[in-house]
Structure 1
Amino acid sequence: MTAKTMHHTEASIRATLTTLAERWEQMAKSAPDFGGDGLFIDEPAPAQLQQFERATTYGRAAADLREVLRTGRIPHGLMTDAELDAHGNAQ
């Protein structure tokens, strides 16, 4: 594989991953709005809570993917203990 082909392939993969992050961000926006204070007038239905949790997960996944694309490293919250030790961030 030539350097030009490798660059094209990497660019294509990065574009695909960026599109995936964008779609996850769109899906994260579908979460029901419970207000910022955490106080509910009416208790949310289980389906609303599940939708909120799913949207939160999509948002976090999109942010993690964008961090990987930006830095080239696994986000701190997803590192294994060995990786944290290697980076001097053991908890």
Structure 2
Amino acid sequence: MTAKTMNQTEANLRATLTTLAERWEQMAKAAPDFDGDELFIDEPTPVQLQQFERATTYGRAAADLREVLRVGRIPHGLMTDAELDAHGAAQ
């Protein structure tokens, strides 16, 4: 594989991962907003709570993926003990 081909492959991979992060962010926005200014009379339904949790997970995954693309390593919160030792624990 030539250097040019490797650069194209990496660029394509980065574009694909960026698109994936964008889609996860869109999915995260579809959740019910429990932090808004609206007054809730009724408790959220189990379905709404599941939608909210799923959206939170999608949003975190998108942020983690963007972090990996930006800095080139796994985010601190997802590192194993061995990785934390190698990179230094956060103070």
Under a length normalisation based on structure 1, what TM-score does the superposition of the two structures give? 0.91
| Cα drift, residue 77 of structure 1 | 0.5
Percentage identity across paired residues of the two chains: 89
Residues 2-27 of structure 1: CA distance to partner in whole angstroms, max 9, x if unpaired? 00000000000000000000000000
Under a length normalisation based on structure 2, what TM-score does the superposition of the two structures give? 0.91
**1:31-50 map, 5 Å:** 31-35=31-35, 40-50=40-50
Residues 35-79 of structure 1: CA distance to partner in whole angstroms, max 9, x if unpaired? 258x85311000000000000000000000000000001000000
What residue ranges of structure 1 are gaps of 5+ in the alignment? none
What residue ranges of structure 2 are gaps of 5+ in the alignment? none
Residue 88 of structure 2 is aligned to residue 88 of structure 1 = yes
Work out the CA distance in 2 between the residues paired with 1:67 and 1:45.
33
Contact 1:76–1:84, Cα closer than 8 Å, also in 2? yes
**1:41-80 map, 5 Å:** 41-80=41-80
Match of 2:13, as an amino acid?
A: I
- Equivalent residue pairs, number: 90
Match of 1:46, as an amino acid?
A: P
Contact 1:81–1:90, Cα closer than 8 Å, also in 2? no
Cα RMSD (Å): 1.8
Runs of 4+ off more than 6 Å: none
**1:17-32 map, 5 Å:** 17-32=17-32
